[in-house]
Every structure is written in C-alpha cells, then in structure tokens.
C-alpha cells in the first residue's frame, strides 16, 4: 500500500503580539488544509518571538537597565504551555498534571488554541539553544529528544525534531537516527548559505525526509522594544497575509509536464486563495533564488550586484543561459583596482537605496529535502511572509528504499565497536 503524504513548511514571521501571531498561524493552517497538507512546520520561536539583533544590554560583567526592560518585554511575550521546568513527559501529554483551582487548564491557553486549530483543520501542526540565545533561554531536557510515532492519513510516521544549531551536533543527530526516524524536523533561525548543505547531509545520513522552516524578517517587523519605535504591525487577521505566497512542488517521481515549482501571490485580504492563481516569473531556478557561488541573475531594469560587477569584467565571463539569464563563471580575472575605482555611470548604474527599515535581518531559507539528499522544495530566500512551501505526493517508502545503500543506525552502525548513550533518553525506536 502506498505511503504518501503532503508536507509543508511555513516561512512566516512573528507578529507584534502572541494573540496576533496565533491568529496568523490559524489562517496559515486553514490555508494548508485547503491545499491538502497533512503536516505543517513553523519556524523556530515563531510563538513568543526570536529577538534578533537584541543584546539585552549585556556585556561581560554588566547588564543595563534598558536591557532588563527589553528582557521584561520578551518575558511577557513568552508562551506557557503548562509543562514543568524539568519536562513532565507523558504526564503533560496525557494531561495528568495538577491544575490550579478555578482554572480549566495549565499554562496560558496557547496549547489549547493550537489543539483547537489542529482539530478544525486536520493538519498536524509542529511549532518548535544555541549561540547567544543561551543568555535568555535555558537548555532543555535530553528526554525531549525522544522520537514520536504517529499515524497520519493512514501512513505511519516516526518523527523527531532538532532545533537550529542542535543540528550541527553529530551525536545529537545520531541519537535521533537511532530511533528510526523517517521524518526529521529542523526549525531554525540560521539563514546562512551553509544551512541547506547541512539539511541535505542530514537527509542522506538519516534516509528521512527533512523539513526546515525559518523566518524571513525585515527590520521594520522586529518588535518595537528592539527597534525603539512604535509597532506598525497590522491587526489580527491581516498581517499574516501581507505579501503572502504559496509555493507548490510535485515530487520528483511524477513526470507530468506541469510538474514544476510555482509561486502564487495571495490577495492581501483575509489570506484567501484567488480562484485563478497567477504564477510569478522567477529568475533562474523557479522559486529558488540560488545561494550558490555561481549566482544567477535576471537581465532586469534594476541591475543586481552581479550584473553591476559583470559589467566591469570581460564579456567572456558571462555564459548565456535560457530566458535571457546569465551564468557568471568564477575564477576569471577581474579588472585592476584603479578601474574598480573609476566612476562610469553607464557601467555602474546607481543601485536603489534601501532604508534601514527595509533591511532584511533574516533571509529565511526554508526547504524540504528528500531521503537521498535531493532538494524537493526551496530554499526560499529573501521572501518575507513566504506562505507555504508544499511538497506533494511524498512517498515514505523511499526512506526504506534508501537504506539499501546506507543505514547509519542499522547495518552501517558497527555497534560491535561503537556505542552511544544519552542520559535520560531511551534510544530504542518508539513502539
């Protein structure tokens, strides 16, 4: 029996308040349901917010009053799912924890709101400490690395998640591989070009489908307490659809003529899909601005940095490719420094000024990767409120097929020579 699902990631950014963000999440989930999505992943810290660029007034040996005020604002935006500091595990899942007198639930109601949305849409929602985040976030319990087995639309899934730079930790990754995962979730805040190769490596190692979701954020959409300016976020129900897009992709095993990436514009009102979506024309690879050193640029009226630079190179450096695009080949000699400094209005057209508010402080890069390391969908760069990246007709039997070649926690594990133990975590696959 075929084991096929439709998976999606949402490149959404946190809004001004938890309530408006939850409202946007609900709108996104309903749109995913209309698109036939079975499981939807949101970026790291989507609820509560990722305080990018904020230092909380902290330097070695000192904290400022302004930083403490920022921390207070961030603390107030944090969500409370009703768990315990150590992690209550199954007691939390089965709602066996004590509830305060006069209340109907633990926490602030966020868990109940998410469960309500999941029940209404039928979409399995996944809302997921490294670097300087340790200043404000505590380390989680190893028990939270336990894989979960569930059945979605008749397909048995073993899923697990590693957040952001946890994915750079080989032993942590192996602890998940050991639990026989076939769906690996990697919500992140890392928008560097090195992220996609990491996701492809994880897919190859695990022989699992890998979903990664990140936020794309302009400086204007950072919280007002970070920017020091009044918030300009749109009210609930509107902000989630600003510049919203839906990118669709069919799996590689389908050979219909229309099996291509597309990006659809959504109208700005209420996040409803148009009856006749209009595909956008995207330079280079459809829907995928390339992060590769071999950069692809469209011959548009406003020159890209590549186009400006190429005008100062020999014409032989550019290789024409279809649709009036060019491929810039690396390693060719550039002009000397004296020529670089010359001002030529024809060869160096003025670039469009970008205001500080328009600056992109996180580029996104959400993607979906198959169990052989092939990129199925994405990465989606520099697209704020990018909507949904959807991979349709995903065959989970490809995970099992791939283990003929490589099974790092099985036939390739060399468990006669190597052993991994994790305190507080059972590495056996879930029953």
Which residues belong to the active site?
Answer: 44, 119, 164
Q: Look up residue 342 and give its DSSP letter.
A: S
What sign results for the dihedral spanned by CA atoms 227, 232, 236, 242?
negative
Residue tagged 């056996």 (tokens): 428
Determine the length of the chain.
431
Residue 2, helix vs strand vs coil: coil
What sign results for the dihedral spanned by CA atoms 392, 163, 227, 24?
positive
**CB proximity list for 206: less than 8 A, separation 6 or greater:** 173, 176, 177, 181, 184, 371, 408
Q: Look up residue 402 and give its DSSP letter.
A: H
CA angle 156, 160, 165 (to 5 degrees): 155
106-136 burial code (b ≥16 CB/10 A, e <16): bbebbbebbeebeeebebbbbbbebeebeeb
Residue 354 to residue 159: CA distance in whole angstroms: 41
Residue 203 to residue 214: CA distance in whole angstroms: 18
Residue 261 to residue 259: CA distance in whole angstroms: 7
**CB proximity list for 266: less than 8 A, separation 6 or greater:** 241, 244, 245, 246, 272, 273, 274, 387
CA angle 172, 94, 23 (to 5 degrees): 80
């Amino acid at each position: 029996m075929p084991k096929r699902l439709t998976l999606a990631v949402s490149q959404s950014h946190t809004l001004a308040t938890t309530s408006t963000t939850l409202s946007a999440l609900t709108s996104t989930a309903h749109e995913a349901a209309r698109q036939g999505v079975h499981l939807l992943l949101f970026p790291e810290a989507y609820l509560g917010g990722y305080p990018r660029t904020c230092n909380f007034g902290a330097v070695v040996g000192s904290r400022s009053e302004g930083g403490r005020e920022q921390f207070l604002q961030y603390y107030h935006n944090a969500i409370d799912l009703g768990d315990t500091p150590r992690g209550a595990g199954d007691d939390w899942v089965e709602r066996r924890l004590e509830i305060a007198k006069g209340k109907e639930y633990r926490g602030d109601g966020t868990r109940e709101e998410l469960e309500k949305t999941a029940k209404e849409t039928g979409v399995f929602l996944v809302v997921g400490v490294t670097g300087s985040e340790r200043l404000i976030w505590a380390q989680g319990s190893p028990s939270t690395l336990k894989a979960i087995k569930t059945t979605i639309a008749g397909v048995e899934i073993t899923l697990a998640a590693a957040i952001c730079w946890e994915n750079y930790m080989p032993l942590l990754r192996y602890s998940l591989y050991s639990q026989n995962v076939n769906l690996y979730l990697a919500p992140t805040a890392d928008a560097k070009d090195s992220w996609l190769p990491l996701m492809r490596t994880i897919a190859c190692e695990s022989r699992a489908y890998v979903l990664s979701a990140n936020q794309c954020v302009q400086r204007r959409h950072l919280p007002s307490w970070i920017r020091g300016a009044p918030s300009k976020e749109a009210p609930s129900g509107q902000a989630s659809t600003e510049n919203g897009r839906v990118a669709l992709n069919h799996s590689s095993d389908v050979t219909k003529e229309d099996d291509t990436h597309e990006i659809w514009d959504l109208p700005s009102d209420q996040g409803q899909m148009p009856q006749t979506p209009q595909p956008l024309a995207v330079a280079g690879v459809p829907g995928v601005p390339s992060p590769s050193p071999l950069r692809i640029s469209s011959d548009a009226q406003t020159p890209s940095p590549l186009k400006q630079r190429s005008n100062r190179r020999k014409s032989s450096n550019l290789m024409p490719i279809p649709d009036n695009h060019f491929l810039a080949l690396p390693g060719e000699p550039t002009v000397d420094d004296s020529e670089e400094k010359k001002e030529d209005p024809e060869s160096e057209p003025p670039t469009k000024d970008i205001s500080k508010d328009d600056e992109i402080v996180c580029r996104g890069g959400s993607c979906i990767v198959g169990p052989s390391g092939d990129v199925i969908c994405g990465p989606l760069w520099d697209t704020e409120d990018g909507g949904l990246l959807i991979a349709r007709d995903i065959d989970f039997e490809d995970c099992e097929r791939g283990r003929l070649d490589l099974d790092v926690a099985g036939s390739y594990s060399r468990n006669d020579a190597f052993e991994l133990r994790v305190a507080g975590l059972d590495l056996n696959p879930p029953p």
